[in-house]
Amino acid sequence: MQNSEIVLIGGSGKTGGRIAARLEQLGLSARKTSRSTTPAFDWEDRSTWRGALTGATSAYVAFQPDLAVSWAAEAIDALSKIAKECGLQHIVLLSGRGEEGAQRSEEALRAAGIDYTILRASWFCQNFSEGAFLEPLLGGRLQLPADDVREPFIDAGDIADAAVAALTDIRHRNKIYELTGPRALTFREAVAEIAAASGRSIEYEQVSMTDFKDGLAAAGMPESVIALLEELFGEVLDGRNSQVMGGVRDILGRPASDFSQYVRETAATGLWSA
């Protein structure tokens, strides 16, 4: 691929920063955009979109807060059309597995007349170290409304590698890849692995959805975020996504990283020992 500019919408997130670093190592120009960059990109201010996209030939798109929200598909539709008008040739969309909202967003992108690659990812391993689960783990107890449903957690590094492959190799255009880890495990099992690797006593407790929502509200979580988490835990995490898929091998030619590798590497940093 020639050295043409790639814009990363959501460039400061779990995947965006990793993608930027990989592209720069390849000598490719990557422009991270967010509400705080110049030019800025704000999902809730469409006047910022054209300026953020101008000059790029392709884009990686990680929608915030999640493609499950009601207005996501219409936003992806509008963004795709503006991107095409700005001369972009290709959009790589980070999507979710088993979410109706995500599927509507995928359909909007595919109908926009621009080349696409869709990366359907399972829950991130990094939710335990860079996301909402970290603070409870440091406190010694993670409470979630999830029983023994298994999830094949995916490492954000694998997603970044897949996105870079999609952005730099035209063979991946107009394809959909389901990215999961190589092993499905429950949240209880995931916490047990983290506890063992960090040498700490960390408990997992299943709680009711009501108690979970009440706890989030007491912590000051916005109602919109609480509603999103209720959908993700109450509907999407019902076993529909427990199957391990081969998307990482299909796009990268290697197996996906196991959750245990992520746990060993993260525990070695001392993050969970605080």
β-bridge partners, 204: 142
Query: Residue 154's pLDDT is what?
Result: 98
Pairwise CA distance, residues 44 & 46, whole Å:
6
Walk me through the domains of the chain, giving residue ranges and CATH numbers.
6-124+155-181+243-256 (3.40.50.720)
pTM of the full structure: 0.94
Cα–Cα nearest to 18, from 110, 106, 125? 125
> What does the block give as tokens for 188?
């209880």
CA angle at 130 for the pair 98 and 217, rounded to the nearest 5°:
75
> Strand 58-61 and strand 115-121: pairing?
unpaired
pLDDT value of position 227: 85
Distance CA 56, CA 51 (A): 10
Are 263 and 197 contacting, i.e. CB atoms less than 8 angstroms apart? yes
CB within 8 Å of 221: residues ≥ 6 apart? none
Block mean pLDDT (10 aa), the chain, length 274:
75 92 94 92 96 96 90 97 97 94 96 97 96 91 94 98 98 98 98 97 96 87 83 86 97 98 98 89
Look at residue 4 in the predicted model and tell me its pLDDT.
63
β-pairing, 58-61 vs 90-96, is parallel
